[in-house]
Every structure is written in C-alpha cells, then in structure tokens.
Amino acid sequence: MADTNFDLAVIGAGPGGYVAAIRAAQLGLKTVIVEREHLGGICLNWGCIPTKALLRTSELYHQMGRAAEFGLACDNIRFDLASVIERSRKVAAKLASGVAYLMKKNKIAVIDGEAKLEGQGKIAITAKGGGLSTIAAKHIIIATGARARELPGLEADGRLVWTYKHAMVPQVFPKSLLVIGSGAIGIEFASFYRTLGAEVTVVEMLDRILPVEDAEISALARKGFAKQGMTIHTGTTVEGLTRHDESVTARLAKPGLTGELKVDRVILAIGITGNVEGLGLEAQGVKIDKGHIVVDEWCRTGIPRLYAIGDVVGPPWLAHKASHEGVLCVEKIAGVEGVHPLDKTSVPACTYSTPQVASVGLTEEAARAGGRAIKVGRFPYSANGKAIALGETEGLIKTIFDEGTGELLGAHMIGAEVTELIQGFAIAKGLETTEAELISTIFPHPTLSEMMYESVLDAYGRALHM
C-alpha cells in the first residue's frame, strides 16, 4: 500500500467495523479497515445472514406441510440438503461482495491480514501472503468480534460436535441432535433441524429456555417447541461427551437425577468469547474482563484514541448493536453534535425460530425488581383477524408501562413475524413514547400490527377485541 497514514484504522470488518468505516468516510476521515478473513465478518458469512437463509428454507418446508389447511395439495415433500446449504452460502457471498463494493464506493482502504497494536497509533500488519508492513492512524477502533465458547470436555471437532459454523454446512443431516444451550443461536438451530425432521433435544443449565427473554414469553416458546416434538431439559448440565464412530453419548445431570443421551450430532451454543488474542492489547494496557474489552459509554478503552465496539466488548452480542456502536463511536471521534451513548434497554433482540421471538426493553420481572409500579398489557394472536387469515393463531404481544408516567418500559412478542413487528416498539421507546401517543396512533387493518395497539389498550383496560 502506497499510503500508510490514516485518520482512522478499523480492525475487523464485521457489521460493527465496516459500518464504522463507512460512517468515518462519510465524515471526511481518511479510513482503512483491516480484516483477516472475510469482509462482513461472522454476521454476513457465518451468522445472521446465512442462518436466516437456512431458517427461511425450514419455514417454507413447515408451511408446505400445512398446505391442506389452505386448500392446497403438496404431496411427497422433501428437501435436498446440498441445495439448501448452497443457497445459504450464495446469500452470504452476495452480501459479502456488497460490503466490498461499499468499501470501494466510500474510498476506504482495505487490507487483508492480521493486525497487532504497536503503540503510538501504529499497527503492524501480517498480510495473508506472509508479508509484514506498518500503518499509522490517529484513531483506532477494534471490532474483532467473537467466536463460539467451548468448555473442557465439550470441545467441537467439526464432525460429531459442532459449533454454529459446522451446523450451517453439515455433510449429512442428523437423525438425532443435541443442542447445548438455549439462547437465540441454540434455539434457531434447534428449530431449523427439528422442522426438517431431526429428533432434537435441547439442554439448558438455567431454569428456562431463552433465559434473557421475558419469563412468560419463554414459557410460551417452550410450549410451542414441545408441541413440535422438541425435547427440552432445563436446569440440566452436560457433564461430558463420549464420541463414537458416528454418534455421541452425552452425560446429563440435574439435581437428583443423572442419565445418558445418545445422538448423531451435538451443537454447542453455550455463548461466545471475544477475539482479543494476538492484538497486543495487554502490552498497550487495555483492560480485558472475562474475554471482552472493557470500554466506557463512548467505546473508549482508556487508552488515548483507542476504541472497541461490537461483540468484542460484550453483550448484547447483536449485529445491530455493533453497527450502532460503530456509528456513535466515529461520530464522537469526529465531533458530531448531539451524539448519545448506547441505551442497552433500547436494543431490540430477535430469535428467528418457529415461532419467532422478539423483545425490547425491560422484562416484567426486571421492571418489578427495579421497584417500578407497572401496567402490563397482553393480546393473543388468536384474537387478530390477519393472524387467523394467515393460519398463525399461536402467539402473544405483551407490553409493559410505568404506571405513573405511562413510559413504555418493554415489549415482548412471540408468534409469526414478530421480528419485523418489534421495531415499532423500538422506535416508540426511542422517542420516549407514552401510552397516550400509542393509543392515539392509527394502526392499519387488517394487520398483525393491530395486536401491538390492542396490547397497549389492554394495559389500560381498554382492549377492543378481547
């Protein structure tokens, strides 16, 4: 590279890093981005995007099995695993190439290689081809993301025991599957494989699945998954795995009970840990806590002009949170007026299983634990005309308001298309909307969004259709 001096260097080209680079370029900063694997990072290549392509296939497969309900004939339904995976990989590749175009469009220099901090704004680059070079930048953002967490005795091998990467490109479709962990990643894979016919068992060490979600929604999700034939064990740990030629035996334990489960394959979904190794962070005095970089509300590490964003700084581990941090971090660097720190309670979360789960803000339990006097509204899918017409009558919209001020504290949903609906409440929360504004808003009919309106009405004893 002819030019080695920049206003901003971004290490990592995932949804946090590449968005930060684009915003920096828009603000006139001379920007370079360093990526050791793929533009788009885990999200575009091995996470958000390709998993949604897989889940779309399973969703259609599920709907085809219900064809008779809609007066249609759809016999001898089957799927071709190789074609399912190929489509997913093509979708990922298309998005990754789109990021490359955006880098070029915004005149952002791209370096393929490993980066290591050398101090005083200098970064040593080890190119993929093996060459060494150094660049300098006034500001540096670390956006290296995270990887699947493993525990002793539960290590992935790529053949019998999978991480999310292996689960997206299986060589064979397992007849039986154990998913360890019931967060969004675990539940999405459990849903995908169960919908396509695998016997799926989910093990969660906590007392309920989707543990960060509202307890009422978690309970409904468990009921829905069990109805589909999924076996779920909560309050249970996996003490070890015994690997055979083409199967795995898991030793399960819960208080007062132990047992074994033999399955074809195992998926590890027990969390993620930040990619902090090999960056020279310790030598620069960067504080790391439990595998994640410690930052303040402006993504500052405590080292002058060194920042970190996204999964590498900790939960919530969400692509849109990383992108938002990238923008606010860059705008703070550039001196843009009116920049606000991230409010984690306003970050929406989505699980793209069947049924879908989505939420924003405080759960009912958290609101009460915080000493709030609250009003809670609920509206079921079974009472909504559009849901009935779609044949999607299982689900619930739940809203939580501060009793004194009417502030929207949280919204929690389960059912068809809630991952699209939740943004309405995310916007409302960001605008500090009260129940009064929501009640005075006109929601179109017939739509699923009417349930959002009715849930608000129900919190105040005014539901019209229930």
Give per-residue pLDDT as tens, 141-157. 999 999 988 888 899 99
| Long-range contacts of residues 103-108, Cβ cutoff 8 Å, at least 24 apart | 103/18, 103/21, 103/33, 103/39, 106/21, 106/22, 106/25, 106/26, 106/31, 107/25, 108/21, 108/22, 108/25, 108/31, 108/32, 108/33
Cα separation of 281 and 173, whole Å?
41
Q: Which residues are catalytic, by number? A: 445
Tokens 């080209």 map to which residue? 13
Question: CA-CA distances (angstroms) from residue 221 to 65, 355, 415?
Answer: 21, 7, 9
Position 221 scores a pLDDT of: 98
Closest CA to 4 of 25, 30, 35: 30
Per the document, the length of the chain is 466
Position 2 scores a pLDDT of: 62
Can you list the residues of the chain whose pLDDT is less than 50? none
Contact 428, 408 (CB under 8 A): yes
Handedness of CA 102, 185, 268, 161 (dihedral sign): negative
Q: What's the CA angle centered on 191, arms 185 and 192, to 5 degrees?
A: 90
Position 1 scores a pLDDT of: 54
- For residue 223, count other CB atoms closer than 10 A to its CB: 12
Q: Which amino acid is at 444?
A: P
Please provide the distance, in angstroms rounded to a whole number, between the alpha carbons at the two ends of the chain.
Answer: 66
